[in-house]
Amino acid sequence: MSKSSNAAQGRLAGRVALVTGAGPGLGGAIALAMAQEGANLVVCDIDSEALSHTEKALAATGVECLALRCDVSDSAAVDAMFSQAAERFGTVDILVNNAARVPTSPAEESRRNRHYAYLTTPMERQSLGIVASLSDEDWLKWWDVNMHGVFFCTRAALRIMEPRRSGKIINIASIAGLGTQSMHSPGYSATKAGVISLTKTTALDVAGANIHVNAIACGAVLTPPFQAYLDTATAAQRNSLFQLIPTGRIGQPAEYASLAVYLASDDHYLVGQVISPNGGAVI
């Protein structure tokens, strides 16, 4: 059986999914998993080269794909993207809000290492001085993509979904929004908590229109930036991280993508739920 025939019989056959932040990593894995289940894809990223890799992988599955460079923190650009998606495919059935900034700068990695060492090494209790040392930029930079972008894309999707009384929205949150696992990055944690709250309020708003909104609160994901951190971390730093995860390993993008496919399907009764695959880091 051909790849295109397999796709035509998948759980998402005939549907249109829009995935933000769809370069290599989690967004690309989610887009590919949905294509393998038959969905046609609209994918966006601000990194055109990364987006091109995803577009080629999707084309190999036999589904139709529209790849667009889009900065989701720009509401006009988001509205234009959804207009192009509707013009090309007639609708958007599934939205995956995956685009996000993540804490990967040298300063953030230093704070991460101090945080993990504090949790896993016996030492005198003390303030780590993280919140007090943050600049305005350290705080404000998280909100444009992580929070505003999710809202802009959700609003644009609902303007298509509500008249049709059908749709699935999947917000990619984080265990950082559930607790203190990313205390080393307060701005990131705050925005992911905001995504969780927006998921719940939006779900209640639109459930009566047969639109299901849910969130995936991811644990650590072995994306290229996380792999780069592991490659440069010392053995002690890696051990501190793995000691915080009962399974002792980082989750693979495909393991999260399979859950996104399930939430995009009609095989569940979930509304406004936050599901957290995390290897036991949060129980």
The catalytic site residues sit at: 188
Distance of alpha carbon 131 from alpha carbon 187, whole angstroms? 9
Cα–Cα distance, 262 to 36 (Å, whole number): 13
Q: Are 68 and 44 in contact (CB under 8 A)?
A: yes
Instruction: State how far the Cα of 68 lies from the Cα of 172, in Å rounded to an integer.
Output: 20
The residue among 157, 153, 136 whose CA lies nearest residue 145 is 153
In 180-223, alpha helices (H): 186-206
Residue type, 179: G
Number of H helices, E strands in the chain: 13, 7
For residue 172, count CB atoms less than 10 angstroms from its CB and return exposed for 0-12, middle for 13-18, buried for 19 or more.
buried
137 vs 156: CA distance, rounded Å: 28
117 neighbors 240 (Cβ within 8 angstroms): yes
CA distances from 198 to 164, 165, 202, 278 (A): 22, 20, 6, 21
